[in-house]
Amino acid sequence: MSGKIKSCVLAVMLAAIPVAVQAQVVISQVYGGGGNSGAVYTNDFIEIFNAGAAPQDLTGWSVQYTSAAGTNWGVTPLTGVSLQPGQYYLIQQAAGTGGTTPLPTPDATGSLMMSGTNGKALLARVLTAQSVACPTGADIADQVGFGSANCPTPTAALSNTTAAIRKTLGCTNTGNNSNDFDVAAPTPRNTTSTLNACGGPGVPAISSANVSVMEGDSGLTPMLFEIELSAPAGAGGVTFNFATVDGSAAAPGDYESVSGTRTILEGASSAMIMVNAVGNTIAQADRSFTLNLTAINGALPATLSITGTIEDDDIATLAIHAIQGSGLASPVVGQRVLTQNNIVTAVGPAGYFIQTPDAAIDADPLTSEGIYVFTGSPPATIAVGDSVTLTGNVVEFSGLTELTTISNLVINSGNNPLPAPIAFDESRPSPDPDNLSCGTLSNLECYEGMRVGVADGIVARANQYFGATDSYAQVFVSASATRSLRAPGTLYPLVPGVGNPAAGTFTGNPHIFELDADALGAVPANTEITGGMRFSAVGVMTFNFGDYDLLPTEFTVIEAAPIPRAVSAGQLGAELRIGAFNMLRLCDTIANNTTVTCGNGGEPDVAALALKISRLSDYVGNVLEIPDVLGVVEVENLAVLQQLADRIALDHSITYTAYLEEGNDIGGIDVGYLVRADRISGVVVTQLDKQETWIDPRDGQLRVLHDRPTLLLEGTFAGDSFATLVIHPKSRSCVDRPTGGDCNQAEVDRNRAKRFTQARSIALRVQEQQTANPSRPLLVIGDFNDYQFSDGFVNITGLIEGTYDNDANVIDLSEGNIVTPRLWNAVTSLPANEQYSFLFTEQFGAILGYTTRDVPIMQALDQALLNTVARSWFAGFEFGRANLDAADQTERLSTTAVGVSDHDGFVVRLATDRLFADSFGGE
């Protein structure tokens, strides 16, 4: 093929479209479904487009986003590029755990979390965040509303598989979004995408195809750039200057530079420019240069850039470690290489892995000795243990180094011993983000493509769900037998602990990685792997859609973790059993109002409510084993709680009395109790502080403080009185850091302040109870929306417990701890791996070699605080496991307790007939 010009599939510019243009640079596409379940792309994005006839400098510009009725706009600055006429510009936004396709290389990156259905995006000529619902004025270049947006005239609602796309490739702009946009499958375009000039009548569009040639071993190979017009040149013709500019190809070694002036005469439609590529016999990557057309007169755009690519046809002989290199990408990407005498370690449905024999590895621990060979279909002639020699192209596919376009494959021998697996254990991958296993950039890149072994691992998170074709997908695992647990401190490295050094920094668990058990047949397809399962495995490490992923060839269960796992029933006659459970919006079927619903996605219908109540009954009866008192969270009203009590009586022959008082929550959810009338007597339930107010820092107005006011229960068990407080403070949303949209710094500060003020109020009530009844057992239970330690901002659990540390928080408790003697958290009685009640996927962004590191974090949000008397009765504490450790698909299909909530409930066992003399020392 040397010397022959290859036809190009990418046109640099399309024909002009005669559409009136009101603004030069506009928003051309908006997609908010990125990362959602069933999404097309892994990230949200906003795309802009230069629909004008002149370049536009984007220095100081920004895109901004807010909710459909929002006024607080999140900001993403744009890079200082000159956007050419007809050129697109892609701004990547936040990612989630769903989506199958990474975006093309973005031109700018932000972290705005956009709605997949309804919202507003704008393009501003300034970086200043807007503060009104519908900004206007010279600073606003364009604004697009979609779905239920209150302005401007919005497009139809979007979805996880659709975007708002400006018609005629971005040129249509009548000022009416509903007319200008289609809702269709997203097609993200960046500055390297095909240009689309929006010319007017009588003005032709000028374009050219990119050109590529094989370099040849010697001499010159012509590269012919045909400059074309969409219509014949008008009077005076079309004139332009042209000149080549070095890129990865440099003149005169790679090509002969050219420059000059050219005219396309009136009535003609094309001109030709020739550039000669220089042949050689040096193995190197493909190289490219740019042919720039400037001062274009008589056609649009005014400038045009065309890419010329010189494809290398020389082959280097390299070992795998030389191909992989010591960085995140291969140093020889684009080259064709010969690699010899490597061992096949695993065979998959579209390729196989090869690795250097142990005797031939290099001395550099940062270079991987394995690599993936992509064949596109099952490699029929290849078997594990083969020694192979082959030639292939080195590519980076979504971050994975591969060999493709294989030729000259030779199977030297078969049944060779496999290279010894790298041992993954408590120290590898490193648990310390500042001392990674693979240098300063990655914890796993130096093992990419290699065999690794896990002798005693634990599943940190059960199977994810990626649609019908992969309903039991990757799990997250640890080789150290330590689950992915939240630890004290601010997030690494996104939020520094400045001002509160005592809080420390939570590392984000860099030792956690993914495992795809059925990818190479180590287990049957659609095998459920539950959280907490212990296992051993041997396999190959790969990189898939931005994440490192172990593909096992061997997988053995050491210790199963069946779901559900019930709490201990204890000594039912002598023990008082007190539990708490967040029921994930147990709502009735009646809509509250037109703007806020109680249920997830709206109130349930009759059948859905009946199923929910049946599943909750199963959980209370068979997972929590019928506690004597159950504090309930996220229940809409007393009537629906009574329906649950009635179903429990039917299913388990146990009669609960339901208690609930209406609070102030905008979604209608409240806290309450289910109390066994046969075991608890003298019950008095009192709602506390419903009318308490605070000064909202957003506007200085006095507002109600408690969304779900505390509910005090006083009762008697076996002749002994006791009391509980069930609480549900404000959620953790907008606590750690601004994340775009309505979660700006002002909202972050407000949410921290409100949580602190709520906790201080609850602490005063706790101390009031302790002072009034010093010999009575007291428990504070519920969903605290907080950890058992400080997150570095506001440790509301510690404030209520009486252990608040001003040095470890950003808001000081000026009067010192309110609760004394301090309470004791029963969660801390559990082994570390059991201290969790909620699963949250933390977004750490591009870190540790990941394109986007999304880590499941097991955290304890549901707490049980015991006063000194209650602790002297303490006999045990357990979470009932049915929700967090099941596979996503199992939860989706469940009609039982499994997956009925996003929290696991707990039970505290108190033995009134035995006394423990434990002090608080030694904790």
pLDDT in tens, 864-904: 999 999 999 999 999 999 999 999 999 999 999 999 999 99
Is residue 741 packed enough to be buried (19+ CB in 10 Å), middle (13-18) or exposed (0-12)?
buried
Does the pLDDT of residue 65 top 90, yes or no? yes
d(CA 874, CA 882): 24
Average pLDDT over residues 545-552: 94
Is residue 261 packed enough to be buried (19+ CB in 10 Å), middle (13-18) or exposed (0-12)?
exposed
Q: Which of 195, 187, 147 is nearest to 45 (CA)?
A: 187
DSSP string, 589-627: SS---SS--SSTTS---HHHHHHHHHHHHHIIIIIS---
Beta strands in 125-196 (DSSP E): 140-146, 163-166, 181-184, 195-196
Long-range contacts for 685-692 (Cβ within 8 Å, ≥24 apart)?
Answer: 685/659, 685/661, 685/711, 685/712, 685/713, 685/714, 686/711, 686/712, 686/714, 687/661, 687/663, 687/711, 687/712, 688/712, 688/725, 688/765, 689/761, 689/765, 690/661, 690/663, 690/664, 692/761
Does the pLDDT of residue 10 top 60, yes or no? no
Does the pLDDT of residue 18 top 50, yes or no? no
Q: Residue 496: pLDDT band by 50, 70, 90 thresholds?
A: low
CA distances from 211 to 147, 228, 276, 457 (A): 42, 14, 12, 52
Does the pLDDT of residue 121 top 50, yes or no? yes
Does the pLDDT of residue 802 top 70, yes or no? yes
pLDDT digits (tens, 9 = 90+) for 814-828: 999 999 999 999 999
Token pair belonging to 14: 């399309």
d(CA 709, CA 758): 9
Q: Which residues pair with 291 in a beta bridge?
A: 244, 306
d(CA 685, CA 836): 29
Spatial neighbors of 88 by CB under 8 A, at least 6 apart, are: 28, 47, 48, 49, 170, 189, 190, 191, 193, 196
The predicted structure's pLDDT at residue 196:
80
- How many CB atoms within 10 Å of residue 308? 22
Spatial neighbors of 377 by CB under 8 A, at least 6 apart, are: 349, 350
Q: Which residues pair with 633 in a beta bridge?
A: 582, 671
Does the pLDDT of residue 574 top 90, yes or no? no
d(CA 517, CA 524): 8
What percent of the chain shows pLDDT beyond 90? Answer: 76
Mean pLDDT of the chain: 91
The predicted structure's pLDDT at residue 917:
35
Q: Which residues pair with 522 in a beta bridge?
A: none
Q: How far apart are the first and last CA of the chain?
A: 75
Is 146 in contact with 118 (CB distance < 8 Å)? yes
Q: Residue 7: pLDDT band by 50, 70, 90 thresholds?
A: very low
The predicted structure's pLDDT at residue 442:
96
d(CA 163, CA 46): 10
d(CA 868, CA 429): 42
User: Strand pairing of 853-859 and 778-783?
Assistant: unpaired
Q: Residue 192: pLDDT band by 50, 70, 90 thresholds?
A: confident
The SS3 call for residue 86 is coil
What percent of the chain shows pLDDT beyond 70? Answer: 95
The phi and psi torsions of 316 (rounded to 5 degrees) equal -100, 145
CA distances from 66 to 112, 557, 737 (A): 9, 47, 17
User: Which residue carries 């009077």 as its tokens?
Assistant: 235
Does the pLDDT of residue 53 top 80, yes or no? no
- How many CB atoms within 10 Å of residue 391? 18
pLDDT digits (tens, 9 = 90+) for 560-572: 999 999 999 877 7
SS (H, E, C) 189-229: CCCCCCEECCCCCCCCEEEEECEEEECCCCCEEEEEEEEEE
Is 477 in contact with 453 (CB distance < 8 Å)? no
Is 545 in contact with 42 (CB distance < 8 Å)? yes
Average pLDDT over residues 100-106: 90
d(CA 472, CA 469): 9
Q: Which of 708, 710, 707, 702 is nearest to 686 (CA)?
A: 710
d(CA 721, CA 313): 87
Token pair belonging to 731: 């959620």
Does the pLDDT of residue 266 top 70, yes or no? yes
User: Strand pairing of 315-317 and 336-348?
Assistant: parallel
d(CA 304, CA 292): 6
d(CA 704, CA 664): 8
Does the pLDDT of residue 8 top 70, yes or no? no
d(CA 805, CA 824): 16
Average pLDDT over residues 797-814: 96
CA quadruple 640, 646, 652, 655: dihedral positive or negative? positive
Amino acid in position 184: A
Token pair belonging to 260: 């000059």
d(CA 706, CA 761): 9
Average pLDDT over residues 313-325: 94
Q: Which residues pair with 407 in a beta bridge?
A: 391
Helix (H) or strand (E) segment spanning residue 757: helix 745-772
Does the pLDDT of residue 465 top 60, yes or no? yes
Is 402 in contact with 378 (CB distance < 8 Å)? no
Is 920 in contact with 822 (CB distance < 8 Å)? yes
Is residue 895 packed enough to be buried (19+ CB in 10 Å), middle (13-18) or exposed (0-12)?
exposed
Is residue 712 packed enough to be buried (19+ CB in 10 Å), middle (13-18) or exposed (0-12)?
middle
Q: Residue 16: pLDDT band by 50, 70, 90 thresholds?
A: very low
In the Cβ-directed half-sphere of 886, how many Cα atoms lie within 13 Å? Answer: 23
Considering only residues 408 and 172, tell me which one the structure prediction assigns the higher pLDDT. Answer: 408
d(CA 338, CA 671): 68
Does the pLDDT of residue 495 top 80, yes or no? no
Does the pLDDT of residue 499 top 70, yes or no? no
pLDDT digits (tens, 9 = 90+) for 738-770: 877 788 889 999 999 999 999 999 999 999 999
Spatial neighbors of 400 by CB under 8 A, at least 6 apart, are: 372, 448, 542, 543, 544
Is 692 in contact with 706 (CB distance < 8 Å)? yes
Q: Residue 206: pLDDT band by 50, 70, 90 thresholds?
A: confident
